[in-house]
Amino acid sequence: MINISKRILILCEDGKSSKLYFESFKKDEKLKRELSSVEIEVIHPKDHSPVGLVTKAKEKKKKAKRDRNPYDEIWIVLDKDYHANVDKALNIAKDNKITVALSIICFEYWILLHFEKTTKPFVKCEDVIKYIKKNHFKDYEKNTNCYLALKDKVKYAIENGEWLLEQTKNDIERGKKITGLSAYTDVHLLVRKLIDPNKFLN
């Protein structure tokens, strides 16, 4: 019997692209040993609005604690898109020690970082997808699992994610809200935990 030493809950805003992507880590033959003692639960709640995701995360956190089987980490994978209440959701999450992996404008910005180092802004998610298809990955389709096609590039994407955070640092230190940035994703902070859990899981 495998001893589960860490439990991670990941709540995804979209029911396909990011959910399929994060579910794939556990199935990856190369990562099976590293993740054998990590239980990864990936869900797409019925109410997947920003505040709905945080509310569900709080419920799951409370229940897990009551059942004496708490999560070590809870993550929400969220796109800015045109959602109302993103700032409100971020504040509630922070108050409840729930981490949000936010992408501006959408999860596809994380996909783009697998191919280039960029701060290029996009107005709509469709624009990011068109750019990816035209310049890097012509077969990319939203709502499909792109994990296998990208996994060899994930370390490059994490480096680019770190670089992107560095580019936004001054704006944030000057008081600009993350949601006011024109290009942003910190999905790599979650991904690096999944590919190297011994190093990054608390």
Question: Structure pTM?
Answer: 0.93
Residue 110's pLDDT is: 97
Residue carrying structure tokens 């439990």:
7
Segment (H or E) for 198? helix 197-200
Residue 2's pLDDT is: 47
**Residues in the chain with pLDDT < 50?**
1-2
The string of DSSP codes covering 23-82 is HHHHH-TTTTTTTTTEEEEEE--S--SHHHHHHHHHHHHHHHHHTT---SEEEEEEE-TT
Residue 5's pLDDT is: 85
Residue 3's pLDDT is: 57
For residue 157, give the nearest of 125, 200, 195, 188 by alpha carbon: 188
Residue 15's pLDDT is: 83
**Separation between Cα atoms, residue 167 and residue 118, nearest integer Å:** 10
Q: What is the dihedral of CA 142, 160, 75, 124, to 10 degrees?
A: -40
Residue 1's pLDDT is: 37
- DSSP 8-state secondary structure symbol assigned to residue 142: T
Residue 4's pLDDT is: 66
The domain spans of the chain are 6-200
Residue 16's pLDDT is: 85
